[in-house]
Amino acid sequence: MRAHAAAMTQMADYLDSRPDVQQVFIDARSQGTPEERRAAIKAYTDTHPDVAATFQNIRQPVRDLSARCGLPMHQGMMPGGMAPGGMAPGAMAPGEMAPGGMSPGQ
């Protein structure tokens, strides 16, 4: 969980430092379906390989931990990784806390 929390903090810091990238996620949030949100974010990262590489670097420790533990990373936990199902980073809906959509206090 600490690896995921660290990655989420890094992602938040990155998005704070890059309002242009953050706007992509804000815009994607207005898309009607999860598939449309994924497509919008993927289209952006496909044309901005530097952003895609940063996302991969941020989520790598979570992937490494997942591989060491033999547990699959929740599809919506991180970018690219990140877009599935929701908006990102983490693809969590408002009020939802990954992994598994836990609510505060659970």
25-44 pLDDT tens trace: 999 999 989 999 999 999 99
Q: pTM (2 decimals)?
A: 0.64
> To which residue do tokens 């953050």 refer?
22
Q: Letter for the amino acid at 87?
A: M
Residue 62 to residue 24: CA distance in whole angstroms? 23
pLDDT tens sequence across 65-77: 888 887 776 555 5
Query: 31-35: which pairs have CB atoms within 8 A and are 24 or more residues apart?
Result: 34/84, 34/85, 34/86
